[in-house]
Each structure stands twice: as C-alpha cells, then as structure tokens.
Amino acid sequence: MSVDVCLLLLVAVLVVASFLLDLDTFLRDRRMRRPQQWFADFYPAVRIGSTAKLAAATGLTTRYMRHVKRGTYVPDPRHWPAIQQVINNGHRM
C-alpha cells in the first residue's frame, strides 16, 4: 500500500471515530434530558389520566401505559404529541 492510501485510510478512520463520539454524546445528552422534560411537562397530567385513552392515542399497550402512569417508564418522545393531544382534549378517568 502506498503512503497516500495509508494516509487517506487514517483520515477516514479519524473522521468516522469523531462522528461516532459526537453521536454518542448526542444520544447520551438526549437520554439525560428526556426524563426531566417528561416529568416536568407531561407526567402530572398523565398520572391521573385514562390509561385506555392514552394507550389508544399512542398505540402503546395499556400495560405499558400503566408503567408510564406509575413513573417507572418514560415513553419515547415520538409518542409525546399524541399524549399532549389527549391531555389537551381533557381526558377523563
């Protein structure tokens, strides 16, 4: 292998390593913020809401939603808009 090819491979490896480190940091930060935001913005209303209505709106199971209402699980943020819609519509128990 020529020196040029070796240098090119080394640069490529360093770029990929840098990307993976940035990705790991991004994902770690996202995981840390998610529970804080959930418990501040959604949990108080979800805790007293209808398990069936929340499950139907999100597509999650009622079993999973019971864990969410207990505070043992935090749903993925992709479900938060549906949960917010149920909260805004004044879900009843």
pTM exceeding 0.85: no
Is 50 in contact with 93 (CB distance < 8 Å)? yes
81 pLDDT higher than 80: yes
Between 26 and 13, whose confidence is greater?
Answer: 13
Dihedral over alpha carbons 48, 93, 61, 38 (to 10 degrees): -20
Rounded percentage of the chain residues whose pLDDT exceeds 70: 76
Residues 27 and 17: their CA atoms lie apart, in Å, by 15
